[in-house]
Amino acid sequence: MLAVSVLLVTGSTLAGCSGETSWKTEVLTSMSVKINTVLPNNRLVHHNTKLRTERVSLYYGTFRALKDISLDIPEHAITAIIGPSGCGKSSFLRLFNRMNDLITRARVEGCVELDGVHIYEKSTDVVELRKRVGMVFQKPNPFPMSVFDNVSFGPRQHGRKSRGELGDIVEKSLKLAALWDEVKEKLDQSALALSGGQQQRLCIARVLAVEPEVILMDEPCSALDPVATLKIEDLMTNLAANYTIVIVTHNMQQAARVSDMAACFLMDPDRSGVLVEYGPTSQIFTNPKDKRTEDYITGRFG
Protein backbone atom coordinates (compact mmCIF):
# COMPACT_ATOMS: atom_id res chain seq x y z
CA MET A 1 0.00 0.00 0.00
CA LEU A 2 2.84 2.30 0.82
CA ALA A 3 4.22 1.91 -2.68
CA VAL A 4 0.91 2.91 -4.24
CA SER A 5 0.49 6.03 -2.14
CA VAL A 6 4.02 7.15 -2.95
CA LEU A 7 3.23 6.69 -6.60
CA LEU A 8 0.12 8.84 -6.30
CA VAL A 9 2.05 11.60 -4.60
CA THR A 10 4.71 11.36 -7.26
CA GLY A 11 2.09 11.57 -9.96
CA SER A 12 0.44 14.66 -8.55
CA THR A 13 3.76 16.41 -8.10
CA LEU A 14 4.53 15.78 -11.70
CA ALA A 15 1.15 16.83 -12.95
CA GLY A 16 2.20 20.26 -11.75
CA CYS A 17 5.60 19.93 -13.35
CA SER A 18 4.34 19.15 -16.78
CA GLY A 19 2.08 22.17 -16.78
CA GLU A 20 5.11 24.44 -16.71
CA THR A 21 7.30 25.19 -19.68
CA SER A 22 10.21 23.27 -18.25
CA TRP A 23 11.15 20.13 -20.17
CA LYS A 24 14.22 19.34 -18.21
CA THR A 25 14.50 16.13 -16.32
CA GLU A 26 13.24 16.07 -12.82
CA VAL A 27 15.05 13.83 -10.44
CA LEU A 28 12.70 13.16 -7.58
CA THR A 29 14.62 10.60 -5.58
CA SER A 30 17.97 9.09 -6.23
CA MET A 31 16.57 6.27 -8.38
CA SER A 32 13.10 7.45 -9.26
CA VAL A 33 13.12 9.71 -12.27
CA LYS A 34 10.49 11.40 -14.33
CA ILE A 35 11.43 12.61 -17.76
CA ASN A 36 9.83 14.89 -20.27
CA THR A 37 11.16 14.87 -23.78
CA VAL A 38 10.66 17.14 -26.74
CA LEU A 39 9.89 15.36 -29.97
CA PRO A 40 11.24 16.73 -33.29
CA ASN A 41 7.93 18.53 -33.87
CA ASN A 42 8.43 20.33 -30.56
CA ARG A 43 5.52 18.54 -28.99
CA LEU A 44 6.08 18.16 -25.30
CA VAL A 45 5.62 14.60 -24.17
CA HIS A 46 5.04 13.74 -20.60
CA HIS A 47 6.11 10.30 -19.52
CA ASN A 48 4.17 8.39 -16.92
CA THR A 49 5.74 5.54 -15.04
CA LYS A 50 4.93 2.28 -16.82
CA LEU A 51 6.99 -0.24 -14.94
CA ARG A 52 8.18 0.10 -11.43
CA THR A 53 10.16 -1.95 -8.97
CA GLU A 54 10.39 -1.26 -5.28
CA ARG A 55 13.13 -2.92 -3.26
CA VAL A 56 13.03 -6.02 -5.44
CA SER A 57 15.31 -8.96 -4.71
CA LEU A 58 15.53 -12.12 -6.78
CA TYR A 59 16.83 -15.38 -5.41
CA TYR A 60 17.91 -18.51 -7.25
CA GLY A 61 17.74 -20.98 -4.41
CA THR A 62 19.82 -19.35 -1.70
CA PHE A 63 21.80 -17.18 -4.12
CA ARG A 64 20.61 -13.60 -4.20
CA ALA A 65 20.90 -12.54 -7.85
CA LEU A 66 19.37 -9.08 -7.40
CA LYS A 67 19.44 -6.94 -4.30
CA ASP A 68 16.91 -4.26 -3.43
CA ILE A 69 16.36 -2.77 -6.86
CA SER A 70 14.07 0.25 -7.00
CA LEU A 71 13.48 1.74 -10.42
CA ASP A 72 10.78 3.65 -12.29
CA ILE A 73 10.64 2.99 -16.02
CA PRO A 74 8.88 5.69 -18.06
CA GLU A 75 6.17 4.98 -20.60
CA HIS A 76 6.80 5.41 -24.35
CA ALA A 77 10.55 5.68 -23.96
CA ILE A 78 13.55 3.43 -24.27
CA THR A 79 15.26 2.47 -21.07
CA ALA A 80 18.63 0.76 -21.32
CA ILE A 81 20.02 -1.52 -18.66
CA ILE A 82 23.79 -1.73 -18.78
CA GLY A 83 26.40 -3.46 -16.70
CA PRO A 84 28.98 -6.22 -16.79
CA SER A 85 28.14 -9.89 -17.38
CA GLY A 86 26.55 -11.73 -14.49
CA CYS A 87 25.26 -8.64 -12.69
CA GLY A 88 21.63 -9.69 -13.10
CA LYS A 89 20.51 -7.47 -16.01
CA SER A 90 18.68 -10.25 -17.81
CA SER A 91 17.23 -11.57 -14.58
CA PHE A 92 15.96 -8.07 -13.86
CA LEU A 93 14.38 -7.79 -17.30
CA ARG A 94 12.66 -11.14 -16.85
CA LEU A 95 10.95 -9.88 -13.71
CA PHE A 96 8.53 -7.86 -15.79
CA ASN A 97 7.02 -10.74 -17.78
CA ARG A 98 7.65 -13.29 -15.04
CA MET A 99 9.91 -15.42 -17.20
CA ASN A 100 11.83 -16.26 -14.04
CA ASP A 101 8.78 -18.38 -13.15
CA LEU A 102 10.14 -20.98 -15.58
CA ILE A 103 13.16 -21.46 -13.31
CA THR A 104 12.00 -23.70 -10.50
CA ARG A 105 14.19 -22.33 -7.73
CA ALA A 106 13.65 -18.64 -8.50
CA ARG A 107 11.92 -16.48 -5.87
CA VAL A 108 11.03 -12.80 -5.95
CA GLU A 109 10.80 -10.42 -3.00
CA GLY A 110 9.57 -6.85 -3.12
CA CYS A 111 7.21 -5.03 -5.43
CA VAL A 112 7.10 -5.16 -9.24
CA GLU A 113 4.38 -3.03 -10.80
CA LEU A 114 2.89 -2.64 -14.24
CA ASP A 115 0.69 0.48 -14.39
CA GLY A 116 0.72 0.59 -10.62
CA VAL A 117 -0.47 -2.98 -10.17
CA HIS A 118 1.72 -5.52 -8.39
CA ILE A 119 2.30 -8.42 -10.81
CA TYR A 120 3.49 -11.02 -8.33
CA GLU A 121 0.11 -11.41 -6.65
CA LYS A 122 -1.52 -14.82 -6.49
CA SER A 123 -4.35 -13.41 -8.60
CA THR A 124 -2.04 -12.23 -11.40
CA ASP A 125 -2.92 -13.81 -14.75
CA VAL A 126 0.57 -14.56 -16.10
CA VAL A 127 -0.71 -15.29 -19.61
CA GLU A 128 -2.49 -11.92 -19.71
CA LEU A 129 0.64 -10.23 -18.32
CA ARG A 130 2.84 -11.73 -21.05
CA LYS A 131 0.42 -10.50 -23.70
CA ARG A 132 0.92 -6.97 -22.37
CA VAL A 133 4.66 -7.37 -21.83
CA GLY A 134 6.37 -8.93 -24.84
CA MET A 135 9.95 -10.12 -24.99
CA VAL A 136 12.69 -10.35 -27.63
CA PHE A 137 15.52 -12.72 -26.81
CA GLN A 138 19.27 -12.52 -27.26
CA LYS A 139 19.42 -15.21 -29.90
CA PRO A 140 16.69 -14.95 -32.55
CA ASN A 141 14.29 -17.80 -31.76
CA PRO A 142 11.78 -18.16 -34.58
CA PHE A 143 9.71 -21.32 -34.33
CA PRO A 144 10.43 -24.02 -36.94
CA MET A 145 7.41 -23.06 -39.02
CA SER A 146 6.55 -20.59 -41.78
CA VAL A 147 7.04 -16.83 -41.50
CA PHE A 148 3.26 -16.37 -41.49
CA ASP A 149 2.71 -18.97 -38.77
CA ASN A 150 5.44 -17.41 -36.65
CA VAL A 151 3.93 -13.95 -36.70
CA SER A 152 0.36 -15.19 -36.32
CA PHE A 153 1.26 -17.57 -33.49
CA GLY A 154 0.32 -15.19 -30.67
CA PRO A 155 -3.01 -14.03 -32.14
CA ARG A 156 -3.92 -17.62 -32.99
CA GLN A 157 -3.32 -18.77 -29.43
CA HIS A 158 -5.33 -15.84 -28.16
CA GLY A 159 -8.39 -16.80 -30.11
CA ARG A 160 -8.19 -15.04 -33.47
CA LYS A 161 -8.91 -17.66 -36.06
CA SER A 162 -9.97 -16.22 -39.42
CA ARG A 163 -7.26 -16.30 -42.06
CA GLY A 164 -8.18 -12.84 -43.31
CA GLU A 165 -7.91 -11.26 -39.89
CA LEU A 166 -4.62 -13.05 -39.23
CA GLY A 167 -3.33 -11.94 -42.65
CA ASP A 168 -4.00 -8.30 -41.74
CA ILE A 169 -2.26 -8.70 -38.38
CA VAL A 170 0.74 -10.38 -39.99
CA GLU A 171 1.11 -7.67 -42.63
CA LYS A 172 0.74 -4.88 -40.11
CA SER A 173 3.21 -6.43 -37.68
CA LEU A 174 5.80 -7.16 -40.35
CA LYS A 175 5.50 -3.60 -41.66
CA LEU A 176 5.94 -2.23 -38.14
CA ALA A 177 9.02 -4.41 -37.76
CA ALA A 178 10.37 -3.10 -41.10
CA LEU A 179 10.49 -6.62 -42.50
CA TRP A 180 7.46 -6.71 -44.79
CA ASP A 181 9.23 -5.74 -48.01
CA GLU A 182 11.86 -8.42 -47.50
CA VAL A 183 9.54 -11.31 -46.73
CA LYS A 184 6.20 -10.53 -48.35
CA GLU A 185 7.01 -13.00 -51.16
CA LYS A 186 8.01 -15.77 -48.77
CA LEU A 187 5.40 -15.79 -46.04
CA ASP A 188 4.92 -19.53 -46.52
CA GLN A 189 8.61 -20.37 -46.34
CA SER A 190 10.33 -21.58 -43.21
CA ALA A 191 11.37 -18.79 -40.88
CA LEU A 192 14.62 -20.65 -40.26
CA ALA A 193 15.71 -19.80 -43.82
CA LEU A 194 15.86 -16.06 -43.05
CA SER A 195 19.10 -14.31 -42.13
CA GLY A 196 19.91 -13.67 -38.47
CA GLY A 197 18.90 -10.01 -38.64
CA GLN A 198 15.67 -10.87 -40.44
CA GLN A 199 14.95 -13.56 -37.88
CA GLN A 200 15.34 -11.06 -35.06
CA ARG A 201 13.00 -8.57 -36.75
CA LEU A 202 10.60 -11.47 -37.29
CA CYS A 203 10.72 -12.13 -33.55
CA ILE A 204 9.95 -8.46 -32.96
CA ALA A 205 7.04 -8.69 -35.43
CA ARG A 206 5.84 -11.77 -33.59
CA VAL A 207 5.78 -9.79 -30.37
CA LEU A 208 4.08 -6.80 -32.02
CA ALA A 209 1.33 -9.08 -33.37
CA VAL A 210 0.16 -9.66 -29.81
CA GLU A 211 -0.18 -5.85 -29.40
CA PRO A 212 1.80 -5.51 -26.19
CA GLU A 213 2.31 -2.29 -24.24
CA VAL A 214 5.85 -3.08 -23.18
CA ILE A 215 8.64 -4.75 -25.16
CA LEU A 216 11.52 -6.24 -23.23
CA MET A 217 14.69 -6.79 -25.25
CA ASP A 218 17.45 -8.99 -23.90
CA GLU A 219 20.60 -8.07 -25.84
CA PRO A 220 18.64 -8.24 -29.10
CA CYS A 221 21.63 -7.35 -31.30
CA SER A 222 24.43 -9.32 -29.71
CA ALA A 223 24.14 -12.09 -32.31
CA LEU A 224 23.84 -9.68 -35.26
CA ASP A 225 26.23 -7.86 -37.57
CA PRO A 226 26.49 -4.03 -37.50
CA VAL A 227 24.10 -3.49 -40.42
CA ALA A 228 21.40 -5.67 -38.90
CA THR A 229 22.06 -4.01 -35.55
CA LEU A 230 21.47 -0.59 -37.05
CA LYS A 231 18.17 -1.74 -38.52
CA ILE A 232 16.99 -3.02 -35.15
CA GLU A 233 18.05 0.23 -33.47
CA ASP A 234 16.13 2.32 -36.02
CA LEU A 235 13.17 0.07 -35.45
CA MET A 236 13.36 0.56 -31.69
CA THR A 237 13.51 4.32 -32.06
CA ASN A 238 10.39 4.24 -34.22
CA LEU A 239 8.53 1.94 -31.88
CA ALA A 240 9.32 4.03 -28.80
CA ALA A 241 6.52 6.49 -29.65
CA ASN A 242 3.89 3.85 -28.93
CA TYR A 243 5.63 1.25 -26.81
CA THR A 244 7.58 1.18 -23.62
CA ILE A 245 10.89 -0.47 -24.40
CA VAL A 246 13.39 -1.85 -21.94
CA ILE A 247 16.64 -3.12 -23.44
CA VAL A 248 19.50 -4.97 -21.84
CA THR A 249 22.72 -4.36 -23.70
CA HIS A 250 26.45 -4.87 -23.39
CA ASN A 251 27.05 -2.35 -26.08
CA MET A 252 27.73 1.08 -24.56
CA GLN A 253 27.42 2.86 -27.89
CA GLN A 254 24.10 1.21 -28.47
CA ALA A 255 22.78 2.29 -25.08
CA ALA A 256 24.02 5.82 -25.75
CA ARG A 257 22.51 5.89 -29.25
CA VAL A 258 19.02 4.56 -28.63
CA SER A 259 18.01 4.99 -25.02
CA ASP A 260 16.30 7.85 -23.21
CA MET A 261 17.06 6.49 -19.79
CA ALA A 262 19.89 4.30 -18.60
CA ALA A 263 20.34 2.16 -15.51
CA CYS A 264 23.75 0.87 -14.57
CA PHE A 265 23.93 -2.43 -12.71
CA LEU A 266 27.02 -3.84 -11.04
CA MET A 267 27.87 -6.79 -8.86
CA ASP A 268 28.33 -6.10 -5.18
CA PRO A 269 30.98 -8.04 -3.17
CA ASP A 270 28.65 -10.99 -2.45
CA ARG A 271 27.96 -11.29 -6.20
CA SER A 272 24.41 -9.93 -6.06
CA GLY A 273 23.33 -7.49 -8.75
CA VAL A 274 22.75 -3.96 -7.51
CA LEU A 275 21.56 -0.79 -9.19
CA VAL A 276 24.34 1.76 -9.06
CA GLU A 277 22.92 4.67 -10.96
CA TYR A 278 19.83 5.54 -12.93
CA GLY A 279 19.03 8.64 -14.91
CA PRO A 280 18.66 10.16 -18.36
CA THR A 281 21.10 8.53 -20.76
CA SER A 282 22.86 11.81 -21.54
CA GLN A 283 23.61 12.35 -17.91
CA ILE A 284 24.75 8.77 -17.26
CA PHE A 285 27.15 8.92 -20.16
CA THR A 286 28.44 12.48 -19.87
CA ASN A 287 28.19 13.27 -16.22
CA PRO A 288 27.77 10.14 -14.09
CA LYS A 289 27.33 10.85 -10.42
CA ASP A 290 28.75 7.56 -9.25
CA LYS A 291 32.43 6.78 -9.67
CA ARG A 292 31.65 3.11 -10.40
CA THR A 293 29.34 4.06 -13.29
CA GLU A 294 32.06 6.21 -14.76
CA ASP A 295 34.61 3.43 -14.41
CA TYR A 296 32.33 0.96 -16.13
CA ILE A 297 31.30 3.25 -18.96
CA THR A 298 34.82 4.34 -19.70
CA GLY A 299 35.87 0.70 -19.81
CA ARG A 300 38.05 0.61 -16.74
CA PHE A 301 36.43 -2.71 -15.75
CA GLY A 302 33.56 -5.02 -16.67
Partner 1 sequence: MRFSEKIPGRVLLVIAFSALSALVLITVFIFVEGVPLIARVGVFNFIFGMKWAPSQGAFGIFPMIVGSLSVTLGAIILGVPIALCCAIFLTEFAPATVRNAIRPAIQLLAGIPSVVYGFWGLIFVVPLIRNYIGGPGLSILAGSIILAIMILPTIISISEVSLLALPPPYREGAFALGATQWQTIHGVLLPAARSGILAAVILGMGRAIGETMAVIMVLGNAVAMPSSILDPARTLTTNIGIEMAYAAGEHRQALFATGIVLLVMIMILNSVAQYALRRRQDER
Residues in contact with partner 1 by CB under 8 A are: 97, 99, 102, 127-131, 134-135, 137, 139, 141-145, 153-154, 156-158, 192, 203, 206-207, 210
The partner residues of 106 in beta bridges, in order of sequence, read 60
Q: What is the distance in angstroms between the CA of the first residue and the CA of the last residue of the chain?
A: 38
Q: What single-letter DSSP state applies at residue 190?
A: B
CB of residue 48 to partner 1, shortest distance in Å:
23
**What are the percentages of helix, strand and coil residues in the chain, rounded to 5?**
35, 25, 35
Task: Report the C-alpha gap between 172 and 227 in whole angstroms.
Answer: 23
126, 101 in Cβ contact below 8 A? yes
The residue (of 144 and 164) whose beta carbon lies closer to partner 1 is: 144
Closer residue to partner 1 (CB): 1 or 102: 102
For partner 1, which is the closer residue by CB, 74 or 142? Answer: 142
Which C-beta is closer to partner 1: that of 70 or that of 198? 198
The minimum distance between CB 98 and partner 1, in angstroms, equals 9
Q: Are 80 and 74 in contact (CB under 8 A)?
A: no
Give the three-state DSSP class for 23: coil
Indicate the burial class of 287 (C-beta count within 10 angstroms; 0-12, 13-18, 19 or more).
exposed
Phi-psi region of 144 (alpha: psi -120 to 50; beta: other; left: phi over 0): beta
59 CA to centre of own chain: 21
Q: How far is the CB of 178 from partner 1 (least distance, A)?
A: 20
CA distance 38 to 45: 6
> Shortest gap between Cβ of 217 and partner 1 (angstroms)?
11
Name the minimum Å distance from CB 16 to partner 1: 37
> Which residue in 209, 130, 215 sits closest to 175, CA to CA?
209
Query: Least Å distance between CB 42 and partner 1?
Result: 37
Of 159 and 226, which has the nearer Cβ to partner 1? 159
CA dist., res. 234 & res. 254, Å (int):
11
Give whichever of 68 and 213 is closer to partner 1, judged by the CB atom: 213
| Least distance from partner 1 to the Cβ atom of residue 46, Å | 29
Instruction: Identify which of residues 158 and 291 has a Cβ nearer to partner 1 in the complex.
Output: 158
